[in-house]
Chain A
Amino acid sequence: MADLKILQQVVENSRESRKGYTFPLLPPEERETLLQKYHPDYRADAYRPVRVGPNAGEKTVHEVADLLEAQSPLWSGSGGQAVKLDPDYTVDVLIIGGGGAGCTAALIAKEQGASVLLATKLRVGDSNTVMAEGGMQAAIQPEDSPIRHYLDTMRGGHFKNDPQLLKVLVEEGPTAIQWLLDLGVLFDRDESGKNLRVRSGGATSTPRLLTCRDYTGLEIMRVLKDALVNEEIPVLEYCPAIELLSDPEGFCTGAVLKNFDNHQFIVVAAKTVILATGGSGRLHIQGFPTSNHFGATGDALPLAYRLGARLRFMDTFQYHPTGVSYPEPMAGILVTEGIRSAGAQLLNLKGDRFINEMDTRDVVAAAIIRECKEGRGITTPSGRVGVWLDIPMVDLANGEGTLEKRFPNMMKQFSRYGIDIRKEPVLIHPTLHYQNGGVQIDVDGESTVRNLFVAGEASGGLHGRNRLMGNSLLDIVVFGRRAGRAAAQRARNLRHRPLSLSHLETFQEELKRAGIAARNVSPILIPDYVHREEAATSQKK
């Protein structure tokens, strides 16, 4: 504790002299070298080819490969439980997941006249959406344009983004904002109160971020949930999907849910299904801490995959550069990129700056990892390592009171542990933040499996190999809306089709052929942090 206070003096002493100096951007070749040498996406031993399914032969991290090669909890051959496929619910559209994308899709599907059921693992609103601090991108300023938004995002995604998906995202951005405004979302306004205020974000060529201070996701989620409840959309909370259902042609026809309260199965017959279960930070890929919600266990990946849906970019994850490494109870929690946009600087043990703070997230993360690996990091009392993020620079650059006004959430979080970010730097290290890839979708959110739609972080392609700040809040609204509309419209012309688990037999044969005797089961649903050994002795005698 005292040690850190002494170490941070080097940062405090040089603060005044660093004011106004921008660390130069790296030339393209150097960025590439830095990424290859230090970014976790390039660590060969963290990866292996997945051995079954539509992406067989393609590499992904062990943690995801394990999910994809695991058994269904309903596969009887390996002791899975038998379920009778008589529907408990029969609906047009089943939405699985109650975060931003799921709620949006449900609202739109209902508006389209479909009968809708939303099932979610925890409560409605429990999601990564609620935690999004930085903001939401949309090209609304006169000097901005969808084209500029497109190019910025392409550059951020290393030019691998799906062009059609991305075009839809940027073109429908303003409409998505209008929809949220009409629901009553209160974005920050300019001085006149007539227009929305825009702010700069990492790797964008012009200010494009709409914010609700640093509670943007919370504000959006509160409103979406309230709208959902008031639209009286049927909701099943604490009822995660554990398997999808298919007909003989392999089309998706519903899902089996598990009620956490009574451990009973719930069978849902649906003409179309939308998977919106979010990301996978709680898999702790490569041992990283995560900024993600407790429920982010990548459930959509095995569910869609066993049914034959193709995945995209499952070899790339976003490690947000600035996850907290001290104080310990905050480990992994995010310090919003907005703080760097507002002027906070990164420094190593020696008090030297080492990267342009506003470069893309992957580049900044790689640079921090480099500093730590090469002995220029700072070790915390609990053995984590990090570099300094000099937050007081924000007030120094923009005037006293800026932090208090724009980042009340961040101030409050650190103040609980006696750290005043207006005066002191904090220690940060990259944290697992976002699943760049996911289930492949078309512009209507449909996967390669007929009648199975996917929206939000669970989907892949839009963000290429690196998502830009503010594009995921836009993603969930734009593609949540599209999936909701398309799934409802499709359902109009469909009859309910047979419910079966025949895809599990096909999957089982594949596992057998690949010589995989999978014992583990996916989706895992709840991350396991229980200390079983200590628990046995922790009760006071």
Chain B
Amino acid sequence: MSSTTATVSDRVTVEIMGKKYQVPQGITVIQAMWYTGHELVRGIGCLGGVCGACGIVYRTRDSYELKNGMGCTTLVEDGMSFAMIPHYPASRAHYKMSEIQNAKEDLVTYYPEAARCVNCNACNRVCPQGIDVRTSVWCAVFGDFQEVADLTINCNMCGLCVSRCVADMAPNLIALYARRSLGVFYQPKPEAVLNRIQEIKEGKYNKEWDKILTADEKKLKELCTTNK
């Protein structure tokens, strides 16, 4: 944060929510907000590109294209105009995993709009994480939840796809439903976990615990050297 001391020649002109400012080159949109005196509470989060708090919409000089990104990882450039989208209203289903009968069939009950995709591809163009959002929606509709999970592992739930979807759906929430359902209904329960829980319950380690919890630091250090 201390690096934004630049000479005037290194400056670029940007438009922040309709107002022009000069800021140093090479800084992010969020840093430009601070530089120009904006105190941020909304639209700021992990500052590392994974939490999805700081969605932005922007244009660059000489392009008609409307672009989106995350404010903490998008660098300013001369002639850029941007605004923040800290939240985008989304259609969210309410469900309890315990009450779902058939997760694949129920998807269109909870999210009927999921079947309205017209393949416009706007979601794929907007996703700051590079996710194939459109395919994930189709996979969800057709019940291939494993594919949804593989495609959307890095979804940061920023909701920018929601802002562009012409079918008014929330692809990120649809993917989340599919992901959770996959885990709850369609993946085998790992036996190793169940076995270990059982062993602990049965007191398999109690004798060792007695020894370890009464050991002094020297003894513990010894035990660590043989902990293999």
Contacts and interface: CB of A to CB of B under 8 A. Distances in A.
Interface of A: 122-123, 125-126, 130-131, 138-142, 145-148, 150-152, 154-155, 159, 163, 167, 171, 174-175, 177-178, 181-186, 189, 193-196, 205-206, 212-213, 215, 218-219, 222-223, 226-227, 229-232, 238, 260, 291, 293-295, 328-331, 333-334, 382-383, 408-409, 412-413, 416, 526, 529-532, 534-536, 538-540
Contact of B217 (A130, A159, A196, A231): A159
Interface of B: 1, 3-4, 13, 19-23, 26-28, 31, 34-39, 41-42, 44-51, 53, 73, 75, 92, 94-97, 129-130, 149, 153-157, 176, 179-184, 187-197, 200, 205, 208-209, 212-213, 217, 220-221, 223-224, 227-228
A132 B193 CA distance: 22
Contact of B200 (A146, A155, A536): A146
Contact of A413 (B37, B39, B48, B195): B48
A181 B46 contact: no
A282 to B, nearest CB: 10
A173 to B, nearest CB: 8
20 contacts: A125-B157, A140-B190, A140-B192, A146-B200, A154-B220, A184-B183, A186-B187, A215-B154, A294-B44, A294-B45, A294-B46, A331-B3, A333-B47, A412-B49, A412-B129, A532-B37, A534-B36, A535-B35, A539-B21, A540-B21
Nearest to A148: B227
A151 B224 contact: yes
B45 A141 contact: no
A229 B92 contact: yes
- Nearest 10 pairs between A and B by C-beta? A535-B37, A184-B180, A184-B183, A540-B20, A174-B196, A382-B3, A151-B227, A529-B34, A184-B184, A155-B224
A222 B182 CA distance: 14
A146 B195 CA distance: 13
B190 A196 contact: yes
B227 A329 contact: no
Given A147-B205, A215-B153, 7 more contacts: A122-B44, A152-B224, A163-B213, A189-B187, A215-B50, A538-B35, A540-B20
A272 to B, nearest CB: 25
A185 B187 CA distance: 11
Contacts of B192: 140-142, 195-196
A12 B17 CA distance: 45
B190 A195 contact: yes
Given A205-B228, A260-B41, A531-B37, A329 B73 contact: yes
Given A151-B227, A538-B36, A131 B50 contact: yes
Given A146-B200, A147-B208, A333-B48, A222 B155 contact: yes
Contact of B23 (A125, A175, A409, A538): A538
Contacts of A529: 1, 31, 34
Contacts, number: 215
B193 A150 contact: no
Contacts of B75: 329
A195 B191 contact: yes
Contacts of B212: 147, 150-151
A227 B97 CA distance: 9
A345 B149 CA distance: 32
Nearest to A180: B183
A538 B35 CA distance: 8
Contacts of B34: 529-531
Given A408-B154, A413-B49, A181 B205 contact: no
Nearest to B152: A222
Contacts of A538: 21-23, 35-37
Contacts of B38: 530
Nearest to A141: B192
Contacts of A383: 3
Contacts of A416: 49, 73
A123 B179 contact: no
